Amino acid sequence: MIEAVGLTKRYGKTLAVDDLSFNVQSGRVTGFLGPNGAGKSTTMRMVLGLDNPTGGSVTIDGRRYRELHDPLRTVGALLDAKWVHPNRSARAHLRWLAKSNKLPDSRVDEVLELVGLTSVANKRAGGFSLGMSQRLGIAAALLGDPQVLLFDEPVNGLDPEGIVWIRKFMHRLADEGRTVFVSSHLLSEMALTAQELIVIGRGKLIAQCSTEEFVAQATESTVKVRSPQLPVLRNALLHAGVRISDEGEGLVVSGMDSAEIGELAAQHGATLHELSPQRGSLEEAFMQLTGESVEYHTDLEQTAVAEAAELISTGK
């Protein structure tokens, strides 16, 4: 388990991480979500002892990183996939890492197999595609067979096949009972990958809950209704004090669930042609909660969010 208590990091005038408290449980993929510049990488660096907190603390299984006897056997991390000597082969890179951390050489071939790089193990890592480099980075993180794994933006720049591979691999690691903490600003990806979310904006905690709860809490659920006796139904709903808006040939109702609307329609003799609950998307929830904490808004970001929402709603 990873636990942060009042974690704070200041760089000069910038408060990159601001009194952040959260915990990351084992056996689940926990997404660390926030807009660019929210403080995700800084937080991960502090978990790994690469940066010192200005205040508060973060521990892995109750110990600060520097107090761990055998760090690589406790926690593995992928922060920068291109952190490899370009002229070294994948196998040589992992051997060097294993040797310098007193890990058995036999583990190198095991992790190469796990990430599917056995056939290119003797090729120069400098010639690897981004997807292959990510796999090599994950192999390095797994060398010590740690229970806790951190991945900083692992799918950035990957093609769809690479993205799906990483997503499945994370699920597998969590199913093995490991703690998997993965940062991303890609909302649609987190909706598909993470079971739990820790959402931050401008260094502050915005939410920690399951992905489902996050969407349910942050977005208002509505019900779409269509009826040949729409005026009757509209009056009955208005009388009941709920909010309604017109949409196409029907109404969108907030503040009443579908069962109650069905009962009300029956009481007033209105036939229903549609009664469908509308679920909010992670994008809507994210924009609603982090809207004010995004450092810079651009039209391009808005377009990206709309595209991501489309991806989720079509389930692609």
Of 165, 143, 27, the residue nearest 78 (C-alpha): 143
Q: Which of 36, 122, 254, 313 binds ligand ATP (CB under 6 A)?
A: 36
Going by C-beta distance under 8 Å and a sequence separation of 6 or more, which residues neighbour residue 220?
254, 280
Taking the alpha carbons at both ends of the chain, their separation in whole angstroms is 32
Q: CB of residue 237 vs ligand ATP: minimum separation in angstroms? A: 43
Binding mask 172-201 for ligand ATP (x = CB under 6 A): -------------x----------------
Interface pick for ligand ATP out of 31, 39, 144, 162 (rule CB under 6 A): 39
What CA–CA distance (Å, rounded) separates 9 from 206? 17
Determine if 157 is a binding residue for ligand ATP (CB under 6 A): no
Among the candidate windows 39-47, 168-176, 275-283, 297-305, which touches ligand ATP by CB under 6 A?
Answer: 39-47
Residue 14 sits in the site that holds ligand ATP (CB under 6 A): yes
Distance from C-alpha of 251 to C-alpha of 264, rounded to nearest angstrom: 14
Q: By rule CB under 6 A, what count of residues binds ligand ATP?
A: 12
CB of 156 to ligand ATP, least distance (A): 9
31 binds ligand ATP (CB under 6 A): no
Could you say whether residue 37 binds ligand ATP (CB under 6 A)? Answer: yes
Binding site residues, ligand ATP, CB under 6 A: 11, 14, 16, 34, 36-42, 185
